[in-house]
Amino acid sequence: MRSNKLSMEMFKLILLIGVADVFIILGCYIIPSLLLDGIKSLELFSAMIC
């Protein structure tokens, strides 16, 4: 029972890291490409993440 709970915690951690990676990719790649269209508020957001 204890090992099952541990594997569930590991799964949640892996999932959280995966979600964080998606947000980092959004912040570092997609948002700067939008900035080329002149969106300044997103530039600040991108600078905070990277």
Q: What is the pLDDT of residues 9-35, one digit of tens each?
A: 999 999 999 998 888 887 787 767 776
Reported as a pLDDT band with limits 50, 70 and 90, residue 47 is confident
Say if pTM beats, i.e. exceeds, 0.75: no
Q: How far apart are CA 48 and CA 24, in angstroms?
A: 11
**Residue 42 neighbours by CB under 8 Å, 6+ apart:** 31, 34, 35
The residue that leads in pLDDT, 46 or 17, is: 17
Task: Region of 24 please: left (phi>0), alpha (psi -120 to 50) or beta.
Answer: alpha
Q: What are phi and psi of 26, to 5 degrees?
A: -60, -50
